[in-house]
Amino acid sequence: MKKDLRSQKWFGKKGKDGFIYRAWMKNQGIPDYEFRGKPVIGICNTWSELTPCNAHFRELAESVKRGVIEAGGLPLEFPVMSLGETLIKPTAMLYRNLASMDVEESIRANPLDGVVLLCGCDKTTPSLVMGACSVDLPTIVVSGGAMLTGKYNGKDIGTSDLWRFSEDVRSGIMSEEELNIAESGMCRSRGHCAVMGTASSMACMVEALGLSLPGNAAIPAVDANRKVLAQLSGKRIVEMVREDLRLSAILTRQAFENAIRINAAVGGSTNFVIHLLAIAGRIGISLKLEDFDQFSRNIPLIANLQPSGKYFMEDFYYAGGLPAVMKQIENHLHGDCVTVNGRKIAENIKNAKTWNTEVIAPADAPVNIHSGIAVLKGSLCENGSVIKPSAASPQLMKHKGKAVVFENIEDYKARINDPLLDVNETSVLVLKNAGPKGYPGMPEVGNMGLPTKLLLKGVTDMVRISDGRMSGTGFGTVVLHVSPEAAENGTFALVENGDLIELDVENRVLNLLVDPMELNNRKNKRVAFKSPFNRGYVRLFIDHVEQADKGADFDFLKGGSGSEVSRDSH
């Protein structure tokens, strides 16, 4: 065991301070001997009835506690801000950085030797990991797991089908009554989205980084094995404290490269980019937007999961889960990376097997040769943008079209269904002011619904470009995270109706084909963005958030302040 437990700077003190720290803990019925040299494990819980994906976390925390106690530790559960993707307005992404601050300060300020992070819904995972990285104690992640596969009219459905249903209703193929029936069959159990959306991508991310026990990513929320993993994680975090195995020892540059490659193999969300960049910034690893293209470019799509494929997270679990995918691309991974169980990646996946090759394809016969995140550069996105090739239409991957510009989301909603809208299937839909500062918070509105008049003609996809994000459950030929955003007065702010836009994914190009002199004239006439928010957290956000290509973290949160607290409270 470590010679000095951090918690003993609280509970091991003599005199008035030690009296206060111990006495008020004893009012919970904790015996005196619990404070005598046992590792104190904080269970960071994002349970909330306003976060339906995480609503089972009280029960999951009890399993973690059993493991902590079994290993000789003292478990202490504490709440942090919970970000429910389905309910929060204007977007949960606005509050990711705030939640990370809550996590960081809660861990640092309290007598904890190690931490278990309970997370599931999209932003809860990166916010918890970001906050924990800035403190750098021994830490392990337990994901909540995906819900069971949805059912509608005898077919499997998941969150990705919502986008299809929406377009079907708008085009008259599906009635509102049928949509209501599908709504009742979509979410059949506790857990996060049943597809490879952002929540599942985040669960895969933490396992790929080595922050969770093997198998964490795919176990369904309601499967008994989810509780087993939680108990084993509770047991393991006590051992990690004794070994002094900290986040900084696990989150190496090689671990981040592994995560990028694995995200490509599973068809993970574009949101993965913005969250991994933020995590790297907190732990002090140099990671650039271009790295996502470089390290995923030669990785085939292995997991046949919606929205890039056919199946669901429940199927993924039965087929072997993430270890099976990692085994298929083992020659692309840094096998010597250490993980939270103390073993290297290569050891963890040594005996991994695939039980269903329809769901997890062999590397030499992949679901799709296009995978990962393509990073585009050009005159329309000076600092970059991203597209998910596996979810795009092949015929649109190289395209030129005239821009149909929406200045903001209200403009889009007001005009998209107008039969007089000047648009055809070759047009490029452009949505401005959906970025970190412009919305604010960078919402998931980038995969704009198509114009009704084109849906009625049978058009199912168009090139769409935005400085916002797209739900991980979404699909289509959608360019996202344009940087600088419109509110930062880059070229994207200058696009006008009728401008010709060139997209060439193979050559990683996104250009605005307008004469530079004309753009300069537009820039001189443009009124700079002025935020309507002048107080509170949103003001802080707009003043300090970085652009998407840097992870949209706050400029003052890069790095960490460590775990040391030198002064007592009384």
481-522 pLDDT, tens digit each:
999 999 998 899 999 999 999 999 999 999 999 999 999 999
Question: pLDDT-derived band of residue 569, with 50, 70 and 90 as boundaries?
Answer: confident
pLDDT reading at 195 higher than 50: yes
pLDDT above 90 for 394: yes
pLDDT level of residue 93 (50, 70, 90 thresholds): very high
Label residue 2 by pLDDT band (50, 70, 90). very low
pLDDT of residue 381: 97
What does the pLDDT average to over 226-232? 98
pLDDT of residue 3: 59
Mean pLDDT of the chain: 96
Work out the pLDDT band at 278, boundaries 50, 70, 90.
very high
> Quick check: 384 pLDDT over 60?
yes
What is the arithmetic mean of pLDDT over 72-92?
Answer: 97
Give the position of tokens 């400029």: 555
Q: What percent of the chain has pLDDT over 70?
A: 99
Q: Taking 70 as the threshold, does the pLDDT of residue 362 lie above it?
A: yes
Mean of pLDDT values over 467-471: 96
Quick: pLDDT tens for 180-190.
Answer: 999 999 999 99
Residue 258 CA to residue 330 CA, distance in Å, equals 10
Cα–Cα distance measured from residue 73 to residue 65, given in angstroms and rounded to the nearest whole number = 9
List, in sequence order, every residue forming a beta bridge with 76; answer none if it has no partner: 42
Q: What digits encode the pLDDT tens for the residues 10-67?
A: 999 999 999 999 999 999 999 999 998 999 999 999 999 999 999 999 999 999 999 9
Q: What is the pLDDT of residues 288-308, one digit of tens each?
A: 999 999 999 999 999 999 999
3-class DSSP state of 270: coil
In angstroms, the CA 530 to CA 410 distance is: 17
Please answer whether residues 448 and 431 qualify as being in contact, where contact means their C-beta atoms are separated by less than 8 angstroms: yes
Long-range (24+ apart) CB contacts under 8 A made by 351-355 are 352/320, 352/323, 352/324, 352/326, 352/327, 353/320, 353/324, 353/327, 354/319, 354/320, 354/324, 354/327, 354/328, 355/318, 355/319, 355/320, 355/324
CA-angle at 16, arms to 13 and 17, nearest 5°: 50
Alpha-carbon distance 34 to 42, whole Å?
14
Residue 123 banded pLDDT, cuts 50, 70, 90:
very high
What mean pLDDT do residues 433-442 have?
97
pLDDT greater than 90 at residue 473: no
* pLDDT, tens digit (0-9, with 9 covering 90-100), for 128-142: 999 999 999 999 999
